[in-house]
Amino acid sequence: MDYRVIKENDLFLMTDRNGDIPEGDVSGQGLYTKDTRFISRMEIRINGQKPILLSSAADENYISTIRLTNPHMEEKGELILWRESVEIERTRFIYDGALYETFKLTSYYPKAITFDFSVLLDADFADMFVVRGFQHGDLGRKTAEKSGQRERVIGYLGADDIRRETKIKWDTNESRIGETGELHFDVELNHRESHAIAFYIAPIIDGNEPQQHDPAEAMVKLRQSYADWNGSSTSIQTDVPLFNKLHHRGVQDLRVLLTDIGYGAFPVAGLPWFSVPFGRDSLITALQMLSLNPQIAKGTLLTMAAYQGQNEDEWRDEQPGKVMHEIRYGELASTNQVPFTPYYGTIDATPLFLLLAAEYYHWTGDAQFVKELMPHLNAALAWVKEYGDCDDDSFVEYYQKSSKGIANQGWKDSADSVVHRNGDYAEAPIALVEVQGYVYQALTRLAPIFKSLGHEEQAAGMEQDAEQLRVRFERDFWMEDEQFYAIALDKDKKRVDSVTSNSGHILMSGIASPERASAVAKRLVAPDMFGGYGIRTMSTEAAGYNPMSYHDGSVWPHDNSVCLLGLSYLGFQEEAITVMQGLLNAAAKFEYYRLPELFCGYDDSLNAPVPYPVACSPQAWAAGTPLTFVQALLGLQPNALTKQITIKPSLLQGMNELLVEQMQIGSGALSLRVTRGINGSEVEILSNLTGYELLIS
């Protein structure tokens, strides 16, 4: 990454590798909360000159340590400061709604030295939509600044009449303010002597200022929260170091992406641009995380339920029972200049909400929660039948009503993502292939749960709807010449006949016949779809294929992970292992073994995956991808109704041992070891406190 980002709950900071936010930066760097930039410039200087970068670490998401030093300084032949005399160590973290940064200045010059150290900070309070260049509109204005001996407050009054402020505090009286507002510190150091300057930077909205903590105590509590997260999550260990590193990176990235807005922890979509509740992304990530920590699914479901649609509102593409796409909190949203309060223009979030509720129940057996969620489940089911399928053909379709909404409302939401074989773009209403699979899975998995809770008649109706959907789906989506399912049906019910990864999502639903599912599985790893680093979003043989595109030939790790869950569910272990090995090979080439949001779809003859220029990293469902490897390798499927866990294990090439400890299922946890034996994979049960019977094949 050419940037550095840290986050904790609802506040995140993005800077360059030096730790600065330069004047005139156009990449959107800054300190953000509630979709507002509270620091837009952050630059340090030593004797007025920019320091030289030594190292910039970003392996820990909650703390960043950057080391710099001074350039050589002479004036008219007189030495001012010898090169590399001063080490500048800047350490920063976020805790309880505020940024803490300490500059530790250490002299390695053999004699006493003096120098000027300066810090320039400013805030523009720009709305996220403005920062990204997507929207402009009526905006507020800066108000008078307030300054004290060790404090500065920058104010802003928004067009929404909300007062926003940035409070900046530092811990020494030995400072002065320069002509352009920068803080100057006169530093005197002997050889090997250090001097630290600590800053506290707090966003304040309508007078609500976060509590200031002692930095050392805050860091202890922050580290403990990560230790608690790791301790409450499934532990994985194998004899393949790359696998361990990728899984560990995913677990840590997911922790930093967790946010709680009052309904329990859930994953935001990704940094830096999508640090908000995001229906589709949050729901799929929670699905990926079931094998790691199923309680995240509960927090995600409750968050989505809290914002479930109540009214018919074309401006926001809202309908009763519909699950939101995305919510924003900035000035443009709160003045209704953009419809994201929240915005509901997504076709898949509602069936994914239903699907996740069913899968959460099977992992936990938490029938009480399903009962509490029942009004929201019923509202979502009603939306699927009444609004999602507005022409009563069994297919859930989308079309945009909002003037500032999104045209393509599936996960491939770019304007060119649903394209016919002849290159024409499909016109809405559009029924996407994967959405029909999500609906089918939701109906077939929820129906027996509803029946067990005494809703027999409703369950029978759901089963009938699912069967009708399956029959029509097989008739209308299958492309006989390609031996594959079409990506969609367009407004004329004509197949959109490009071969894409979307069809891989239906494998986990069970909607496809065994023969057709087998054909899909084989095609996903054929050379036109699989280039060595993962399944492409579009076949190289399709008219719309472009390896550099966002959705028409690139590789998305999360897309692969959903295909992977289906391959594992149906027993296509060879294909599943091919996909996992490709993603592992890709991860080995990325910084900190972190799979990004997406990368270009070139094949592995280039010896490294080609990065996509503006991919988010860390991205929640990319971070969740290696978690699905564990479930896929175990072939693990829990069933709360039968109180059984089926396991059909396999191991990657070169992997001889997979140790899984404290996987939360049912009323307790499962620990087991899979090893490579003479006749295949062997399973040793170390502990089973789940209350479920194990069926191993």
Tell me: pLDDT of 2 over 80. no
Q: What is the pLDDT of residue 670?
A: 98
Mean pLDDT confidence for 150-160? 95
- Residue 151, sorted as left (phi over 0), alpha (psi -120 to 50) or beta, turns out to be beta
pLDDT (tens digit per residue) in 171-198: 988 888 887 789 999 999 999 999 999 9
Q: What span, in angstroms and rounded, lies between the C-alpha atoms of 659 and 131? A: 45
Closest CA to 258 of 224, 231, 295: 295
Q: Average model confidence (pLDDT) for the chain?
A: 95
Give the lowest-confidence range in 20-34, 289-303, 503-517: 20-34
What tokens were used for 115?
């120098």
Cis preceding-peptide flag for 618 (omega within 30 of 0): yes
> pLDDT value at position 597?
96
Strand ranges across the sheet with 30-33 = 4-8, 11-15, 30-33, 36-39
Query: Of 15-29, 172-186, 358-372, 406-420, where does mean pLDDT reach its minimum?
Result: 172-186
Cα 464–chain centre separation: 35
Radius of gyration of the chain (CA): 27
Give me the half-sphere count of Cα atoms (radius 13 Å) on the Cβ side of residue 504.
Answer: 33
Which residues is 188 bridged to in the sheet? 114
| Other beta carbons within 10 Å of 336 | 13
Pairing mode, strands 73-75 and 78-81? antiparallel
pTM of the model: 0.95
Average pLDDT for 90-101? 97
CA distance 108 to 88: 11
**pLDDT confidence of 323, banded at 50, 70, 90?**
very high
Give 481-518 pLDDT, tens digit per residue: 999 999 999 999 999 999 999 999 999 999 999 999 99
Q: Do the beta carbons of residue 423 and residue 340 sit within 8 Å?
A: no
Nearest to 1 by CA among 624, 620, 623, 614: 614
Measured CA to CA, the distance from residue 332 to residue 31 in angstroms comes to: 18
The closest of 635, 651, 675, 597 to 269, measured between CA atoms, is 597
Angle between helices 241-257 and 573-587 (to 10 degrees): 80
Dihedral of alpha carbons 44, 50, 55, 57, sign: positive
User: 56-66: per-residue pLDDT in tens?
Assistant: 987 788 899 99
> What is the predicted pLDDT for the residue at 74?
93
pLDDT in tens, 580-612: 999 999 999 998 999 999 999 999 999 999 999
What distance in Å separates the CA atoms of residue 427 and residue 277, rounded to the nearest whole number? 29
What's residue 503's pLDDT?
98
Q: Residue 77: what pLDDT?
A: 87
| Token output for 301 | 């479901």
Q: Could you report the per-residue pLDDT of 283-292, keeping only the tens digit for each?
A: 999 999 999 9
| DSSP state, residue 387 | I
1 pLDDT above the threshold of 70? no
70 CB-near residues (< 8 Å, 6+ apart): 46, 47, 49, 51, 52, 81, 83, 84, 85, 86, 88, 115
Provide the pLDDT for residue 406: 93
Name residue 140's amino acid: G
- Largest pairwise CA distance in the chain: 92
Q: 3-class SS at 38?
A: strand
Residues making up the chain, counted from first to last? 697
Give the residue with greater pLDDT, 136 vs 522: 522
The domains of the chain, with CATH numbers, are 4-223 (2.70.98.40), 232-660+665-676 (1.50.10.10)
Which of 273, 243, 275 has its CA nearest to residue 256? 275
Q: Which two tokens stand for residue 435?
A: 């959405």
Cis-peptide, bond into residue 272, ω within 30° of zero: yes
d(CA 412, CA 624) in angstroms, rounded, equals 18
The string of pLDDT tens digits covering residues 227-250 is 999 999 999 999 999 999 999 999
72-86, 123-137, 336-350: which has the minimum mean pLDDT?
123-137
Q: What confidence category does residue 149 fall into, taking pLDDT thresholds of 50, 70 and 90? A: confident
> Can you give the pLDDT at residue 694?
97
Cis peptide, bond prior to residue 51, ω within 30 of zero? no
**pLDDT, tens only, 659-689:** 999 999 999 999 999 999 988 899 999 999 9
Supply φ then ψ for residue 248, to 5 degrees. Answer: -60, -40
Residues 6+ apart with CB under 8 A from 495: 476, 477, 479, 486, 488, 489
Over range 286-300, report the average pLDDT: 98
Where in 108-182 does DSSP place strands (E)?
A: 113-122, 141-148, 151-157, 163-170, 176-177
- Phi-psi domain of 387 (left: phi exceeds 0; alpha: psi -120 through 50; beta: other): alpha
Distance between CA atoms of 453 and 443, rounded to whole angstroms?
Answer: 15
- Evaluate if residue 138 carries a pLDDT over 80: yes
Angle, helix 514-524 to helix 557-569, in steps of 10 degrees = 140
The distance in angstroms from the start CA to the end CA of the chain is: 43
- 466 C-beta neighbours (distance < 10 Å), count: 23
Quick check: 537 and 545 in contact, CB under 8 A?
no
Two structure tokens written together for 198: 């600590």
Per-residue pLDDT, 471: 98
Cβ–Cβ < 8 Å for 165, 157: no
Beta bridge partners of 141: 157
- The CA distances from residue 647 to 37, 463, 665, in Å, are 48, 27, 13
Report the distance separating Cα 462 and Cα 173, nearest Å.
70
CA distances in angstroms from 252 to 175, 228, 230, 248, listed in the order given: 38, 12, 8, 6
Amino acid occupying residue 18 = N
By C-alpha distance, which of 426, 410, 407 is closest to 418? 426
CB 535 within 8 A of CB 526: no
